[in-house]
Amino acid sequence: MRARLPGFHRKSMGERLRTLIETGALTRDDVANLRGELDDVLAAADHRVENVVGLHALPWAVATNFLVNGREVLVPMAIEEPSVVAAASHAAKLVRASGGFAADADPHRVWGQIQVVGCRDWDAAEQALLGHRERLLEVAAAAHPTLARRGGGPRALAVRPLNPEPDTETSRMLIVELLVDTRDAMGANVVNTMMERLAPIVESLSGGQTVCRILSNYADQCLGRATCTVDPDQLAAGAFSGPAVRDRIVLAYQFAASDVRRAVTHNKGIMNGVDGVVVATGNDWRAVEAGAHAYAARSGRYRSLSTWRVDQAGRLVGRLELPLALGTVGPSIQAQPTARTALALLGHPDARALAGIAAAVGLAQNLAALKALVTDGIQRGHMRLHARSVALAAGAPLDQVDALANLLMDRGWVTTHHARAWLRGRL
Ligand code: MEV
């Protein structure tokens, strides 16, 4: 299977699906998942969430050209924003010319926390908890025996005092923290079960009361990373030479490394790519977002999640690292047919491989955004797709969307007001 599919974006949706089947990227059953009967999907949704009365659909697209650790990868992305999939595919094409992305990820280890308050003797409570570390680890492991059979389970237990000198707004507390390897599962249920199982023992050992018992979404022990190297010749755009674009990308990165307003937008561009994969694969994008932005501020100042520099051979080198506690198994993923197809398209990766791919897509997205920003600006590429959204929003019949979008672009009036006027025959 090759991830280079020239002309894929110019095909009709049916032709794209046929291509994916013919190249062996998807089976007919995988495709059937994408085109599930709406009534069935709605009925399933009614079992998953409370008070369901409808569905909110997102485009499910395929980013092409990705080469990750030497493997061809077609990337499923669920995202509503125009240009993101095209931008990721464009950047992946530039990067594959220099060997593609290198990506990896830590084992899937996440923290659970138990908050303990009201101890009479804080030092004795801490010592008692630490003195029973092994027992606590055993109880946590026994709360989920199948995890151990899959090679996972609790890995470490720590006790941390918080607010040792409380004031009127803070209380003294101990935090019991358990690091759990959840293998290929997202892990929230596993870890929350362990925390709730430990809480009564923690109370009796510490003599205090437990308050919160919950997983932490700050997955700083579960980082995904990607790096890429781009030959400057690949970067030439319009009047800008390749080396000029390379140097301007580094300057744009330095802006994001030094300024929080810019860093947030820079990181938002990275998350355009990461979230597209996270949502398509049925993972919890709010957890990933929360962890990513906390990680961006780990030095005490919010910074760019990626770095860009020029190496000794004059090539542009990008690197991205962020918490990526993603799952590839578990009921919440399996219950989503489109997520199953996303994982099939990715070649059924384990959690670590998926985190590496998501990091590569985030880095690609960042490269594409920076390249556009430092050359033509992002609006030129964005407006043609945006014009289609404007045409749709104005109520254009599907067979007239492209014609109307082109007309709006040609006249430079990309507004719903003008689109409606055209539809009423008044333009
Ligand atoms: C838009 O969704 C994302 C960008 O703003 C990212 C960036 O500025 O780096 C283009």
* Co-location of 243 and 350 in the same domain: yes
Q: Which residue has the higher pLDDT, 146 or 130?
A: 130
CA of 375 to the centre of ligand 1 (A): 14
**Does residue 306 have its Cβ closer than 6 Å to ligand 1?**
no
Judge if 228 and 325 occupy the same domain: yes
Q: Looking at the structure, do residues 155 and 283 belong to the same domain, yes or no?
A: no
Q: Is residue 384's pLDDT more than 80? A: no
- The verdict on the CB of residue 88 being under 6 Å from ligand 1 is no
Instruction: Identify the pLDDT of residue 21.
Output: 96
Among the listed residues 228, 229, 221, the one whose alpha carbon sits nearest the alpha carbon of residue 352: 221
Query: Which residue among 215, 240, 266 closes a domain?
Result: 215
Determine whether the shortest distance from the Cβ of 407 to ligand 1 is under 6 A: no
Q: Say which residue the tokens 């089976």 belong to.
A: 27
Give the CATH number for residue 20: 3.90.770.10
293 pLDDT more than 90 = yes
d(CA 3, CA 347): 12
Q: Is the residue at 2 inside a domain? A: no
Beta-carbon count within 10 A of 200 CB: 11
> What pLDDT score does 38 carry?
83
Q: What is the dihedral of CA 345, 351, 353, 356, to 10 degrees?
A: 110
Nearest CA to ligand 1 atom 7: 266
Q: Which ligand 1 atom lies nearest to the CA of residue 378?
A: 10
Residue nearest to atom 9 of ligand 1 (CA): 266
Instruction: Provide the pLDDT confidence category of residue 312 given band limits of 50, 70 and 90.
Output: very high
What is the C-alpha to C-alpha distance for residues 116 and 31, in angstroms, rounded to an integer? 50
**What ligand 1 atom has the least distance to the C-alpha of 370?**
9
CA 84, chain centre distance (Å): 13
Do 414 and 298 share a structural domain?
Answer: no
Residue with CA nearest ligand 1 atom 6:
269
Residues 340 and 240 in one domain: yes
Residue type, 274: V
Alpha-carbon distance of 53 to 42, in angstroms, equals 8
Q: Domain total for the chain?
A: 3
Residue 83, domain member (yes or no): yes
Taking the centre of ligand 1 as the mean of its atom positions, its distance from the CA of residue 219, in whole angstroms, is 25
Give me the CATH number covering residue 123: 3.30.70.420
Position 41 scores a pLDDT of 87
For ligand 1, atom 4: residue with the closest CA: 269
Q: Tell me, yes or no, whether 201 lies in a domain.
A: yes
| Å from CA of 57 to ligand 1 middle | 23
Can you tell me the mean pLDDT for 234-243? 95
Full-prediction pTM beyond 0.75?
yes
Q: Taking the alpha carbons of 166, 169, 172, 174 in that order, is the dihedral positive or negative?
A: negative
Q: Which two tokens stand for residue 317?
A: 């080198």
Q: Is 273 in the pocket of ligand 1 (CB under 6 A)?
A: no
Type and span of the H or E element at 216: none
Question: Do 132 and 46 lie in a common domain?
Answer: no
Q: Is 3 a member of any domain? A: no
User: For 356-367, what is the mean pLDDT?
Assistant: 98
369 lines ligand 1 (CB under 6 A): yes
Number of helices followed by number of strands (H, E) in the chain:
17, 10
Show which of 188, 215, 242 is a domain's final residue.
215
Do the Cβ atoms of 346 and 354 come closer than 8 Å?
Answer: yes
Average pLDDT over residues 141-157: 94
Protein residue with least CA distance to atom 1, ligand 1? 269
pLDDT average, residue stretch 170-184 = 96
For Cα atoms 103, 104, 110, give the angle at the middle one, nearest 5 degrees.
140
241: confidence class by pLDDT, cuts 50, 70, 90: very high
pLDDT at 39: 85
CB of 269 sitting under 6 A from ligand 1: yes
Single out the residue in 164, 184, 215 at which a domain terminates: 215
Residue 234 DSSP one-character state: G
Atom of ligand 1 nearest to the CA of 252: 9
> Which H/E stretch holds residue 346?
none
Q: What is the pLDDT of residue 426?
A: 67
The response to whether residue 266 sits with its C-beta less than 6 Å from ligand 1 reads: yes
User: Which of the residues are catalytic?
Assistant: 81, 268, 284, 382
Which residues on adjacent β-strands are paired with residue 67? 72
Q: Which domain holds residue 116?
A: 109-215
Q: Which residue has the higher pLDDT, 389 or 60?
A: 60
In ligand 1, which atom is closest to the CA atom of 81? 2
Is pLDDT at 278 greater than 90 in this prediction?
yes
**Cα distances (angstroms) measured from residue 173 to each of 24, 29, 135:** 56, 53, 22
pLDDT, tens only, 50-70: 999 999 999 999 999 999 999
Residues 206 and 257 in one domain: no
- How many Å lie between the centroid of ligand 1 and the Cα of residue 274? 13
For residue 197 and ligand 1, the question of a CB distance below 6 A is answered with: no
Decide if 1 is inside a domain: no
Q: Does residue 399 share a domain with residue 339? A: no
pLDDT mean across residues, the chain: 95
Say if 408 falls within a structural domain. yes
Pocket test for ligand 1, best of 81, 84, 251, 266 (most atoms within 8 A of CB): 266
Residue 232 host element (H or E)? none
Length of the chain: 427
Task: Summarize the confidence of residues 365-381 as an average pLDDT.
Answer: 91
DSSP state of 399: G
Q: What is the mean pLDDT of residues 178-204?
A: 96
Domain shared by 92 and 120, yes or no: no
Query: Is the beta carbon of 137 within 6 A of some atom in ligand 1?
Result: no
Q: Are residues 122 and 266 in the same domain?
A: no
379 — pLDDT class (breaks 50, 70, 90): confident
Domain identity same for 161 and 35:
no
Instruction: Give mean pLDDT, residues 277-290.
Output: 98
> Per the structure block, which two tokens stand in for 345?
């398209």
- 26-39 pLDDT, tens digit each: 999 999 999 888 88
Q: Which whole number is the average pLDDT over 278-285?
A: 97
The response to whether residue 264 sits with its C-beta less than 6 Å from ligand 1 reads: no
pLDDT at residue number 130:
98
Question: How far apart, in whole angstroms, are the C-alpha atoms of residue 6 and residue 409?
Answer: 25
Q: Residue 379: CB within 6 Å of ligand 1?
A: no
Same domain, 276 and 357: yes
Check pLDDT > 80 for residue 382.
no
Q: pLDDT band at residue 158, thresholds of 50, 70 and 90?
A: very high
Distances from the Cα of 240 to the Cαs of 25, 79, 248, 250, 262, in angstroms? 37, 31, 10, 15, 23
CA of 80 to the centre of ligand 1 (A): 14
